[in-house]
Structure formats: structure tokens, C-alpha cells
């Protein structure tokens, strides 16, 4: 079994979802006392982009906004630009030349491919660049503002429920002592925040993230070779939790050839306490799909693929499946591992399955609900019997004083009472 966490998994702790990020950022841009207050030019560009996205019924979220801002910042040849088509097609229609919609091929619900004759090169826009940087800083800032008390409350409940479900169904997953109930399991996430790390630190749980202390350099360095072996991926290996951050983390920075953890704010060009220059942050922002092909992200995606192909259960929490590369990994995994059961917990679970997981819908069990809801956790069908079902059966057996030896896995029971009369019971 493995766990996959999306933005909805961090929402209970105060971190916005993809759509909510944009809504909050817009308020900050317009706020008089905001650290992210926008200039008149920035507000004009933002309004223009938002209007164009809405015109084509595309969600105004981080992926859409950042994709377009980066395109405007760098100057692009829009032959093929995914979600940015929502902005550029409108731009072409209104400002450059007449546009024949029949020549534009819609390749997905989030993008268009323009014919060769419709490929104007747009000049880099410095105002868009400033707005893009401002949005990135806002994302990092918000990912640090979490409710630690809520993290402990929700994850305590989650891991307790998970361990109970594992024991009820006799799944072959190592669990810890009663005073520290959590399974030795691998967690994959697209989130930048440190909610899982905070929980494990507060609860004294050993967390393997792939960092190894280098004596000669005097610091911990991300080493993908640590996790690129059977021992790490085997969940029965020890009492550890493995964490794979598919899109990077707010505390990862590139220094020279190394990726290190920095727990203090630091931007590109800043220097560390050892006078080392920080080259860049190590995060894949929405729309930066090309970065998945470089280290360490290439290996992180490979690990996910390998795990899905050898495990029977993947519990997905708060993920909308709007990332093409990740969707392809899940689709390929089901082909190679038909027994894979994907449990999707999300407020829009049924809609996500219908719109984006139709090819593997027979392998997906949608559960409508939010991660912070304790009762929902008891309903997760991790094995043959949910925790809620177990409690119901136990209550039923006690109420009717059923004889010893009656198993829990019962759907209908015929009991003969003391007068010899047969009675049918349904827990």
C-alpha cells in the first residue's frame, strides 16, 4: 500500500488549494496594506489574463495563471502551449489578425494547438515577470503558514485509522507499537509544504526523505541513490515512513551540484552562512512540466511508477488528477498491475473519476469527503472491511449475543433461538 497526497490533503492545515491560491493572491494584489500589493500595470495584466481564461471556461487556478504569466514574461512562440491557449487565442483574435477557429485543434480540456500560420512571437513583458515572481513568493509564503495543532490532530486520527484498517484486514504492512501507531509506508506528494515533516518531527517518527549527511561538505544533501533501491521501497524494511516530494519542497535549494535543505528564507542569488551562492529553489510550479525530466524529479516520478506497479492499494487524498505526466503513470501502472486498487478521497471524487480517470475507472473507488473529516477515514475501503463496518458488526454481535466463533466477515446470518425459531439478521 502507498499514499498519494494532493493539495486537498494540506487544506485542513490552512494551505489553499490551487484555485484558492489565486483567489487569495488577487485579494493581496488589491490590498492597500498588503506585502504583495500590485502596481497599476500588474493589476491590468492580471485582469486581462483572468478575463481571457474565464472566456474559454477554464478554471482560473495556479496552473493557468502561472503558465500565462511565464509565457508573457519570456516571450513565446505559441505553436503549442497547453492552457496558455486560453489567453493567446483570445489575444490573437482581438489584436493581431482574423482567426479561423476551425483551424485550431483542441487537444484537451485545457489547451489548443494552433496551425503554423498562427504563431506570432510575443515580446517578453517585464511587468508580467514581476507579477510572476510576486505570485511565486506568495506561494512559498503561504506554504509556511500552517496550523501545527491541526496537523497533529488530523494525522494522529489518520494514522490510527490506517493502522486499524490494516490490522482488521490482515494486510501485510508493518505497524508500530501501540504508543506510536503508524505504518511503515511510502508517501508521495505534489505539495511543497512541510506538513508531513512537521508531524513526523513532533511525534518522533523517523522520516526518510532521501537526504544524507556529507561529512566533507558538512551538510545534508539529497541523494536519489538512497531511495533508488529495493530496501527503501520495501515497506516492511523498517519502522520508517518514506516521503517522495514529486514537485520539490519550499526548503530545497540548489547550491552548486547539490540539493540541500534550508530552513530559513533564501532566494536565488542569496548566499548561505558558509558564503555559498544559492542558484535556485528546487520546486516545479504548475505549468513547468519540462522540469520533471531532470534530477531529482525524474527519479521521484520513477519511484512512483515502480511502487504503483507492485502494490495492490494506493490511497489518494485531495488530488484532482490534472497533471498529465502523473496521470500517465497511473494509467500505465493499471495496465501492468490490474490488481491495483485506487481509493480517491476528495470532495469532487466522482467528478474527477468521470472527467479524468475514465480509462481506469474500474480500478478507482471514489469517496466524497474531505481529509480533515474523522468519520470519512473510518469509511475508507482499504481492505474487505472498513473500520466503520467493523464497529457495526461488533455492536451487532454484542446486542444479539451471537455465539462464539462467528466471524466478522458476515453479510447475513441465520440464528436459531432457544425456542428453535430461525431468525435472519443483517448487521
> 82, 114, 142 — which closes off a domain?
142
Q: Which domain range does residue 181 map to?
A: 2-9+145-378
Whether residue 245 sits in one domain with residue 266: yes
Q: Are residues 85 and 150 in the same domain?
A: no
Q: What is the mean pLDDT of residues 287-316?
A: 83
Shared-domain flag, residues 393 and 252: no
Question: What is the grid cell recorded at 136?
Answer: 511565486
Q: Are residues 311 and 330 in the same domain?
A: yes
Q: What is the rounded average pLDDT of the residues 358-376? A: 89
- Of the two residues 103 and 46, the one the predictor is more confident about is 46
316 and 396 co-located in one domain: no
Distance (Å, rounded) from C-alpha 312 to C-alpha 305?
Answer: 13
- Range name among 9-23, 265-279, 342-356 with the lowest pLDDT average: 265-279
Same structural domain, 265 and 289 = yes
**Residue finishing a domain among 82, 108, 142:** 142
User: Domain boundary residue among 109, 142, 175?
Assistant: 142
Whole-Å CA distances, 369 to 342, 350, 372: 16, 11, 9
Do 100 and 236 reside in the same domain of the chain? Answer: no
- Higher-confidence residue of 391 and 71: namely 71
Q: Let me know whether 162 and 39 are in one domain.
A: no
Q: How many Å separate Cα 260 from the centre of its chain?
A: 22
pLDDT reported for residue 297 = 85
Instruction: Examine the domain organization and report whether 100 and 164 are in the same domain.
Output: no
The count of structural domains within the chain is 3
CA distance to 23, 90, 120, per residue, from 100 (Å): 33, 12, 15
Q: Which residue has the higher pLDDT, 313 or 269?
A: 313
Same domain? For 297 and 359 the reply is yes
Amino acid at each position: 500500500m502507498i499514499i498519494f497526497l494532493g493539495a486537498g490533503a494540506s487544506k485542513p492545515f490552512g494551505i489553499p488549494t490551487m484555485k484558492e491560491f489565486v483567489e487569495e493572491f488577487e485579494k493581496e494584489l488589491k490590498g492597500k496594506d498588503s506585502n504583495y500589493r500590485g502596481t497599476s500595470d500588474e493589476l491590468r495584466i492580471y485582469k486581462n489574463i483572468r478575463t481571457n481564461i474565464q472566456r474559454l471556461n477554464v478554471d482560473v487556478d495556479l496552473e493557468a495563471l502561472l503558465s500565462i504569466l511565464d509565457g508573457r514574461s519570456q516571450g513565446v512562440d505559441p505553436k503549442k502551449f497547453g492552457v496558455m491557449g486560453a489567453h493567446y487565442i483570445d489575444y490573437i483574435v482581438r489584436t493581431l489578425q482574423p482567426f479561423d477557429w476551425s483551424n485550431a485543434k483542441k487537444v484537451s480540456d485545457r489547451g489548443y494547438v494552433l496551425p503554423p500560420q498562427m504563431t506570432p512571437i510575443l515580446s517578453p513583458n517585464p511587468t508580467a515577470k514581476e507579477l510572476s515572481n510576486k505570485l511565486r513568493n506568495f506561494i512559498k509564503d503561504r506554504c509556511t503558514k500552517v496550523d501545527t495543532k491541526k496537523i497533529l490532530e488530523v494525522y494522529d486520527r489518520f494514522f490510527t485509522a490506517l493502522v486499524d484498517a490494516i490490522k482488521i484486514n490482515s494486510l501485510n504492512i508493518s505497524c508500530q507499537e501501540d504508543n506510536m501507531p503508524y505504518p511503515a509506508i511510502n508517501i508521495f506528494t505534489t505539495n511543497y509544504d512541510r506538513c508531513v515533516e512537521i508531524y513526523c518531527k513532533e511525534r518522533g517518527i523517523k522520516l526518510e526523505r532521501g537526504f544524507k549527511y556529507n561529512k566533507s561538505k558538512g551538510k545534508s544533501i539529497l541523494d536519489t541513490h538512497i531511495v533508488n533501491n529495493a530496501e527503501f521501497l520495501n515497506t516492511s524494511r523498517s519502522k520508517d515512513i518514506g516521503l517522495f516530494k514529486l514537485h520539490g519542497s519550499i526548503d530545497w535549494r540548489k547550491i552548486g551540484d547539490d540539493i540541500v535543505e534550508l530552513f530559513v528564507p533564501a532566494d536565488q542569488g542569496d548566499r548561505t552562512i558558509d558564503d555559498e551562492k544559492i542558484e535556485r529553489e528546487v520546486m516545479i510550479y504548475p505549468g513547468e512540466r519540462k522540469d520533471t525530466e531532470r534530477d531529482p524529479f525524474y527519479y521521484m516520478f520513477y519511484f512512483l511508477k515502480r511502487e504503483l506497479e507492485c502494490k495492490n492499494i494506493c490511497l489518494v487524498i485531495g488530488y484532482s488528477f490534472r497533471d498529465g505526466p502523473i496521470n500517465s503513470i497511473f494509467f500505465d501502472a493499471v495496465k501492468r498491475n490490474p490488481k491495483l486498487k485506487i481509493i480517491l478521497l476528495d470532495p469532487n471524487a466522482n467528478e474527477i473519476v468521470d472527467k479524468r480517470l475514465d480509462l481506469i475507472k474500474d480500478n478507482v473507488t471514489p469517496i466524497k469527503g474531505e481529509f480533515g473529516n474523522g468519520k470519512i477515514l473510518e469509511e475508507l475501503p482499504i481492505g474487505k472491511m472498513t473500520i466503520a463496518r467493523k464497529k457495526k458488526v461488533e455492536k451487532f454481535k454484542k446486542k444479539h449475543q451471537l455465539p462464539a466463533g462467528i466471524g466478522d466477515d458476515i453479510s447475513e446470518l441465520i440464528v436459531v433461538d432457544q425456542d428453535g425459531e430461525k431468525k435472519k439478521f443483517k448487521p
